[in-house]
Structure 1
Amino acid sequence: MKFGITSRLALVLALVGMLVSGFTGFYAFSVSRSLLVQSAQNELLTSTQVLARRLALTRQEISRNLLVLATHPAALASLQGKGPASEQQLVTLFELVMEANPAYFQVRLISVQDGGPEQVRVDRDSGTLLRVTGDDLQEKGHFPYVYETLKLPFGETYLSPITINHERGAHAGLERPTVQLATPVTDARGTVFGVLVINVDLNGVFAMLSADLPPDFQLFLANRNGDFLIHPDPTHAFGFDKGRRYLVQQEFPETADLVTGKATKAFAQSNQGAYADAPILLSFMGRPLDVASGEDRLILGLAQPLESVLRQADQLGAGILRIVALVCLGCLVLAIFLARAITRPINMMNMAIQRFSNDNHMLSLPVARQDEIGMLARSFQHMQNLIKRQVEDLQDSREELEHLAQHDMLTDLPNRRMFMERLEQAIARALRNDEEFALLFIDVDNFKQINDTLGHAAGDAVLRTVAQRLAGSTRKVDTVARLGGDEFVVLLDNFSQREQIAGFTEKLLAVLKTPMPFGENPIHVEFSIGISQFPENGATSEDIINNADRAMYKTKAGGRNGYRFTSDANTQPNLL
């Protein structure tokens, strides 16, 4: 059989077509696989950051509970030995706090005198709350969470190292992973009389924080030395407590710089040892602690099965393989008759593939042709659209996560993180333009009673209504945010006159106090407001918020249902 130029050209074109198609398919599959892995890593890092921020917010909430208990008059009165009535009142407060926070193992008031005896103590035991009295009260002055806390100024929090609790008589917290948070109890002159300590269930806190994660995600936590505190394999957690060391930098070498503090984040893939049968993709963050602590950082990690990440890539690879097979068959059949005709479209296809692989830009393809080239073009266009949709979906998911990280889920108002950013911007703008502004700290009076009597659905309805009314009563340049619980803040931009601020506050109280619809019976709600001004009441964001917060609590102490400026001696009642 004699081969002419047409046959040879057809054969060459067929072979070239097969090679080009195979290479293109492999390259497209490799690029898609890499893009999917990279997108999954970024999404995993975002989830880790969100979890870390939620952990920080949880720690701040515990610190606020500590401060509320430590500043209650019954705490100081109990330490000064003013009778059992104060102690019983404090026991009631402890029990209320522990009922609202199931992750609290223990709340204690410890005196600074005579070796640090426990003055008031409530433990969680077998699902009930138990007050510990008499000889069961112990001396704790030799524990770091006592003597280190005594060195702190009023309002500061000490965070103990995370360990297994071996303290005698710890009831539900015994032999459980725990961390203690403590704050000093002082009188008005700053004299320290004792410390208030909350023991927190580490597993319970992380179970609550990770409840919204996908079920196949795995959680890791390590201390500053890299010892695992939380691990999918329970035998690896707190190995140092059992005389063994299980280190994150040994299991995942990519995290070595996190342990030494040279890096703040790390990615890893593991397909060896325990993960040989089920490889995983991991994201780690090294987070320094912003409180006095025996730990200077924690390493938080999330893992996702690599199989779930690459499942889409495998589906895409199967599609690419079918397309390549179809192209090869088309080349074999059509190359004999269309040797010259197919040269230009193949080059066009190759250019489109290269351009799409480099920057996802979609060039025009010969989809109108009614032959194998057209079929290939349509198939590749379908593949392009599929990849583009997947990338857009990943981008939408990332934007949604970013929105969730900056907004409150119940009211869709900016959360604490976003509000703090805007407050810092307002301070910088005020300093630059020699302006002033005011901050209103708003708290719903008797909000717990609403939840207890009408249910959490009513409480949620009240919070959403408050958010809508605050947003509707302010300007676009102002910022309304929910800090958490029933606490809201309003940043009034360029408000400088006290009378102007007071007038706005009274109008706002009138709007907020309008009965709120819920079922057949409207809910009547009152509010306490604290007001601070910049720069009169503080030069930093923390000072401004803290002063407004203190003014709000003074409003509550003065009878609720009103407002108070930071510098006021008395609460301004709401007469409407």
Structure 2
Amino acid sequence: MKSGIAVKLAILLAVVGVTAAALTGAYSYGVSRQLLVEASQQSLLAATQVLGRRIDTGLQEVVRNLQILARHPAARSMLRQGDAGSRQQLDELFELMMRANPAYFQIRLISAADFGLERVRVDRQGASFVRVADDDLQEKGHFSYVSETLKQPPGSVYMSRITINHERGVHAGAERPSMQLAMPVEDDKGKPLGVVVINLDVDGMFALLAVDLPADFRLFLANGDGDILLHPDHAKVFGFDRGRRVLIQEEFAATAALVDGRQSRVVFQDVAGSGALQSALLAFVQQPLGPRSEERQLFVGLAQPLSSAREGAQRFGQLILVSVLVLGLLGILVAMLLARLALRPLRQLTDAAQRFGRGEGTSELPVARDDEIGELARSFRQMQQQIGEQMDSLQASQQQLQQLAQYDPLTGLPNRRMLQDRMDLAISRARRHDEQLALLFIDLDNFKDINDGWGHDAGDIVLMEVAHRLRQSVRAVDTVARLGGDEFVILLDVPGSRQDIINIVIKLLEQLSLGIPFQGITLRVGASVGISLFPDDGASPAALLVSADRAMYQVKARGRGGYGFAVLQE
């Protein structure tokens, strides 16, 4: 009689134990799977936001290039006099800029007179460049990127909508997705003489921006109305150009809140898959453009296959399944000996799984037992460790993405976005305490000669050494940032008197004038420094940057290699 009860109890305990283990495994598997998917969603959203910021940074780089070209003396001379020397100089400058920017289809200088006649034009044609001249130059006054740009205030930038380029004779840009950015070229009185236009290869630009993304990620782009501009299924892009609109809000219903302005970002799962996509996680963000842009905003999206997001959970599920099978086969044999003890460790396992699922951390597990319960506990602990490692990896990826969003990858200095944040804080603090700030805009002299003569490796060494010397030459409370190219900015917090600022700048110039060793030679660069003061030269970050930039260009105009304070414009 006792023997029968013991067998029944053993069988009952074995069944209960195996059932509890199976439920624990299923619960743990479901929790880990959901946690990994949620973590993947956040990581995907962060990657999408970083991509959106890269788009903004890329367009700002085009704007800076436009400013360089529009302010170049040869551009004014060509529009006024049309001399051959200015044409040759601009041809060479346009070609150099296109070599440095693979996403540029075309750069043109267009006159405000003669029905918008092109004066200088360089087109990309495969790996070479075409300098268009004489009878091949066309009248473009009827195009909005000419007529609308000429109406803009001085220094403004016009951005066209992203469309298929149907203009004739544009070589590599023909029938390709394009965007025109233009800036007026003005005389000394601010009257527009013409415009400089950069024709941007949209596909090429996004290919460069997405080069660091995993191979299985897919990229999306839509304009402010939702028209799809970039999609894995090429049949769905630029539908409006073929008389049939294909909208992102119709492709993915969750993006409707983004298009109508109710949200600025959305993350969702497309389990059924759509077109060229498999089941995927998707994230879309709103990326505003400048106030002078015909394209009010863009919607940028990334898709990650759901299978890759759940890959870790599948491995955990296999581990749990093996553990449950081992326990099921051995449970009945050992149940007689473990009848009293089996319930306690199983409860420990269940409690540990529930605590872990609620995010309350790990609890004590019977890992020291030399039996099936101990094996299951060790397997469960291993699963917890693997989930923890996966979460740590995801957090590290998020931190890396945040690092890319706020710091210059070459020099490690804060980038333009972080500088903007620090300037906002510093100006607010200075305004509260009635204090002064100083902004130093530093542009390296002869840096282009080093890049051209010794290559980009030498240029990178120079930029990193300049960044190091700038950091070493100022206080810890000051901010040293790189805007891009060979442009640096230093924000001096409560700099003292005007003479104190001059002393700091002289020290910086002395440090930068020292030679930089490179492959057995010594490279030398100089610097031109423009200085603006808060609140005298501007009450906002943008105003201070413009004032310091203008002061720097005045130093350049005097012959480079020195410093100058901003002069308040009437």
**What TM-score range do you get, normalising by the shorter chain?**
over 0.9
TM-score normalized with structure 2 length: 0.96
The one-letter code sitting in structure 1 at the alignment partner of 2:563 is Y
Partner SS, residue 310 of structure 2 = helix
Q: Highest relative contact order (Cα 8 Å, sep 6+), 1 or 2? A: 2
Partner SS, residue 266 of structure 2 = strand
Match of 2:180 in 1: 180
Matches of residues 447-462 of structure 1 in structure 2 within 5 Å? Answer: 447-462=447-462
Superimposed CA distance per residue, residues 6-37 of structure 1 (whole angstroms, 9 cap, x where no aligned partner): 33333332222222111111111111111111
Matches of residues 251-262 of structure 1 in structure 2 within 5 Å? Answer: 251-262=251-262
Match of 1:132 in 2: 132
Deviates more, 1:264-273 or 1:475-484: 264-273
Superimposed CA distance per residue, residues 332-356 of structure 1 (whole angstroms, 9 cap, x where no aligned partner): 2232332222222222221111111
Deviation at 1:4, TM superposition (A): 4.1
Deviation at 1:120, TM superposition (A): 2.3
Superimposed CA distance per residue, residues 391-422 of structure 1 (whole angstroms, 9 cap, x where no aligned partner): 11211221122112211111111111111111
Match of 1:166 in 2: 166
Match of 2:394 in 1: 394
Match of 1:565 in 2: 565
Deviation at 1:81, TM superposition (A): 3.3
> How many Å separate the matches in 2 of 1:198 and 1:513?
35
Deviation at 1:274, TM superposition (A): 4.8
Superimposed CA distance per residue, residues 191-211 of structure 1 (whole angstroms, 9 cap, x where no aligned partner): 222221110111111111111
> How many Å separate the matches in 2 of 1:250 and 1:272?
15
Deviation at 1:301, TM superposition (A): 0.9
C-alpha contact (below 8 Å) 1:272/1:279 kept by paired residues? yes
C-alpha contact (below 8 Å) 1:438/1:496 kept by paired residues? no
Matches of residues 29-44 of structure 1 in structure 2 within 5 Å? Answer: 29-44=29-44
Deviation at 1:276, TM superposition (A): 8.6
> How many Å separate the matches in 2 of 1:496 and 1:536?
14
> How many Å separate the matches in 2 of 1:126 and 1:463?
31
> How many Å separate the matches in 2 of 1:8 and 1:303?
54
Superimposed CA distance per residue, residues 44-86 of structure 1 (whole angstroms, 9 cap, x where no aligned partner): 1111111111111110011111111111222223223353433
Deviation at 1:504, TM superposition (A): 0.9
The one-letter code sitting in structure 1 at the alignment partner of 2:233 is D
C-alpha contact (below 8 Å) 2:273/2:279 kept by paired residues? no
Superimposed CA distance per residue, residues 335-385 of structure 1 (whole angstroms, 9 cap, x where no aligned partner): 233222222222222111111111151111122222222222222111111
Deviation at 1:114, TM superposition (A): 4.2
TM-score normalized with structure 1 length: 0.95
The structure-2 alpha-carbon separation of the partners of 1:227 and 1:568, relative to structure 1 and needing over 3 Å to count, comes to closer
Matches of residues 290-305 of structure 1 in structure 2 within 5 Å? Answer: 290-305=290-305
Partner SS, residue 335 of structure 1 = helix
Deviates more, 1:238-247 or 1:254-263: 238-247
Match of 1:310 in 2: 310
Partner SS, residue 168 of structure 2 = coil
Partner SS, residue 522 of structure 1 = strand
Q: How many residues align?
A: 569
Match of 2:546 in 1: 546
> How many Å separate the matches in 2 of 1:136 and 1:363?
78
C-alpha contact (below 8 Å) 2:220/2:230 kept by paired residues? yes
C-alpha contact (below 8 Å) 1:50/1:405 kept by paired residues? yes
Partner SS, residue 45 of structure 1 = helix
The structure-2 alpha-carbon separation of the partners of 1:47 and 1:477, relative to structure 1 and needing over 3 Å to count, comes to same
C-alpha contact (below 8 Å) 1:548/1:565 kept by paired residues? yes
The one-letter code sitting in structure 2 at the alignment partner of 1:233 is D
> How many Å separate the matches in 1 of 2:84 and 2:342?
97
C-alpha contact (below 8 Å) 1:145/1:181 kept by paired residues? yes
> How many Å separate the matches in 1 of 2:215 and 2:385?
30
C-alpha contact (below 8 Å) 1:278/1:307 kept by paired residues? no
The one-letter code sitting in structure 1 at the alignment partner of 2:462 is V
- 2:150 maps to 1:150: yes
Match of 1:13 in 2: 13
Deviation at 1:110, TM superposition (A): 1.9
The structure-2 alpha-carbon separation of the partners of 1:277 and 1:265, relative to structure 1 and needing over 3 Å to count, comes to closer
Deviation at 1:506, TM superposition (A): 0.5
C-alpha contact (below 8 Å) 1:158/1:183 kept by paired residues? yes
Deviation at 1:231, TM superposition (A): 1.4
The one-letter code sitting in structure 2 at the alignment partner of 1:164 is I
> How many Å separate the matches in 1 of 2:466 and 2:277?
52
C-alpha contact (below 8 Å) 2:79/2:119 kept by paired residues? yes
> How many Å separate the matches in 1 of 2:71 and 2:363?
68
> How many Å separate the matches in 1 of 2:394 and 2:99?
40
C-alpha contact (below 8 Å) 1:159/1:291 kept by paired residues? no
Deviation at 1:428, TM superposition (A): 0.7
> How many Å separate the matches in 1 of 2:26 and 2:189?
75
C-alpha contact (below 8 Å) 1:157/1:291 kept by paired residues? no
> How many Å separate the matches in 2 of 1:276 and 1:201?
24
The one-letter code sitting in structure 2 at the alignment partner of 1:374 is G
The structure-2 alpha-carbon separation of the partners of 1:289 and 1:276, relative to structure 1 and needing over 3 Å to count, comes to closer
> How many Å separate the matches in 1 of 2:390 and 2:553?
50
Match of 1:494 in 2: 494
C-alpha contact (below 8 Å) 1:323/1:376 kept by paired residues? yes
Deviation at 1:273, TM superposition (A): 5.6
Superimposed CA distance per residue, residues 478-526 of structure 1 (whole angstroms, 9 cap, x where no aligned partner): 1111111111111111013111100111011111111111121111221
C-alpha contact (below 8 Å) 2:478/2:490 kept by paired residues? yes
Superimposed CA distance per residue, residues 299-332 of structure 1 (whole angstroms, 9 cap, x where no aligned partner): 1111122222222111111001111222333432
The structure-2 alpha-carbon separation of the partners of 1:357 and 1:486, relative to structure 1 and needing over 3 Å to count, comes to same
The one-letter code sitting in structure 2 at the alignment partner of 1:444 is L
Superimposed CA distance per residue, residues 237-287 of structure 1 (whole angstroms, 9 cap, x where no aligned partner): 212212233222222211111121221111232343656983222111121
Superimposed CA distance per residue, residues 526-553 of structure 1 (whole angstroms, 9 cap, x where no aligned partner): 1111111111110000011111111111
The one-letter code sitting in structure 2 at the alignment partner of 1:173 is G
Match of 1:50 in 2: 50
Stretches of structure 1 that go unaligned for 5 or more consecutive residues are 570-576
Matches of residues 384-423 of structure 1 in structure 2 within 5 Å? Answer: 384-423=384-423
The one-letter code sitting in structure 2 at the alignment partner of 1:557 is A
